[in-house]
Chain A
Amino acid sequence: MERLQSIPKAWIYVILVVVLAGPLLKPIGIPIPISEEVSKSFQAIDSLAPGSVVVFGFDYSPGNAAEMEPQALAILEHLAEKQVKVIGISFQVQGPEMATKAFANTSWAEKEYGVDYVNLGYRAGGQAAVAAFATDIPGTFSTDYSGKPSSSFPIMQGIKTAGDIDMIITIAPGQPGPEDYVRQVYGTYKTRIIAGVPAVAITQVAPYVQAGQIEGILGGLPGAAECEILVQKRGQAVAAMDAQSLAHLLIIVLIAFRNIPNFFGAKEARAQSMSDRTHHAGRGGRS
């Protein structure tokens, strides 16, 4: 029984590789239910009229792209289908490159740069930069990522503050993230916000979702997979969900292995102490 409590690290690593690689190479096809949060996000984007202006915050980096990029790609496909205009911005230093990659790998590659979409690049300053963006978009992002004046693009005509934006979508694993947009943008302009966050950050943004300040959230890879299903463009996230399910199961099995001896050990100890007490009481009775 003690062996279950001391499985070597190397074994666990090998088992994890097998559990992850198996379903990636040969998918099982576990059905993916659609959560209420993702359904709300989808409906919010679906309600946008053609020609609406959406600000898309590419606030993630290559380090967390495995979890965040599928969300961005699925939402961008939905936005392309809705024929809205997208202004890409970033408050994360590596975000503009992620934006370039995302636009190139979706239906946006066939659309016209500067007319249908634009990549305005990165601005330093965290929450202060979000506040500056809210009150003066062309002033804060005076050039696009390649250095051309942002006012020269047709998509930027008539855009002054966050009040001129129909929706903000931010894909952000950390700060600045959805909370900063709520504080600096929603508070003043009541602009609709959709957020894509890692699975571990759902709790952090949940109070803002319940308060109605964030209209919908996509949480981690499951959120991206659900979005891919709703948009009917299955991609990386759906493909990875079987692996994630099995990895979760593996963790539960390992935790069970770790605790079964504890459980039985405690039971045995309780039984032992009961029998000791009976034994002592018996001896006491006889003497």
Chain B
Amino acid sequence: MKTYLPVLIMTVIALLIILDFFVADAPSVQWIKSSGLVLRSWGIVIAAFAMGLGAVNLLRRHTVAVSRREPEAFYSVLLLGSMLVVMVLGIASGTDNPTYSFLFNNILSPASATMYASIAFYIVTAAYRSFSAKSLESWVLLITAVIVMLGKAPIGSVISDIFPKAADWIQAIPNTAGMRAIVMGAALGVVSSAVKMFLGLDRTYLGLHD
């Protein structure tokens, strides 16, 4: 019962959602439409709760780190402090509070942008160290990368019109063909995985590995 009931609930809910996508908007199947609508709104509520659960877990983990005076407890104090300040501000005075916006625009935004910008340095050094062509395949990869890099920056068309045209061709033909194969393969994988779950063959989401 402990195994069959969750599988049954999952199958009924999943079939309702799938049917909702395919059936027409007719009065005779209105119950499917309205069930789909309700189930999707439940999905949002569950996702919101999952976020709350994540926040509680984070609080718990770092409170323990501080109470045990772990070596990097300073960062846990920083995290807990900033988390509590933002949470209290947001809940007590709303997200349109000027202090809330000030913290977002003057601490979170520049800090995140700095992290993102620092990737540029890693990309350049990684490209320098890893792009060492020693076989035919690596030469093909290297030449393709150079064409795309030149073709996708304005300097490419200044050097020659060939670069943007070649970059567009690489993107539109071989690249998209490969991507399409991946997308279709993944879609078929999702369908087969769903069928296995409906039939109760895959029960790993219940914590069962048989």
Contacts and interface: CB of A to CB of B under 8 A. Distances in A.
B116 to A, nearest CB: 5
A108 B97 CA distance: 20
Interface of A is mostly: helix
Contact of A255 (B128, B155, B179): B128
B51 interface: yes
Contacts of A20: 120
Given A135-B36, A245-B153, A249-B155, A129 B120 contact: no
Interface residues of B, number: 59
Interface stretch (A43-51, A149-157, A198-206, A278-286): A198-206
B194 to A, nearest CB: 14
Contacts of A140: 41, 44
Contacts of A146: 94-96
Interface string A50-70: 000000000001111110000
A251 interface: yes
A123 interface: yes
Contacts of A63: 112-113, 115-116
Nearest to A179: B183
A247 B176 contact: no
A62 B47 contact: no
B117 to A, nearest CB: 7
Interface string B98-136: 000100110011111101110011011101110111100
A121 B183 CA distance: 30
Contacts, number: 173
Contacts of B96: 100, 145-146
B120 A31 contact: no
Interface in B74-107: 94-96, 101, 104-105
Contacts of B101: 97, 100
A249 B124 CA distance: 11
B154 interface: yes
Contacts of B117: 66
B37 interface: yes
B120 to A, nearest CB: 7
A97 B112 CA distance: 14
A124 B37 contact: no
Nearest to B33: A135
A206 B176 contact: yes
A84 interface: no
Contact of B113 (A5, A66, A97): A66
Interface string B121-164: 10111011101111000000010011001101111011000001
Given A96-B95, A246-B155, A207 B180 contact: yes
Give 4 nearest A-B pairs by CB, closest first: A245-B155, A125-B47, A128-B43, A132-B40
28 contacts: A30-B155, A33-B157, A62-B109, A63-B115, A63-B116, A97-B95, A97-B101, A97-B105, A124-B50, A124-B51, A125-B48, A126-B47, A128-B44, A129-B43, A132-B41, A146-B95, A203-B175, A206-B176, A210-B176, A222-B153, A222-B154, A245-B153, A248-B150, A251-B123, A252-B149, A255-B131, A259-B133, A262-B133
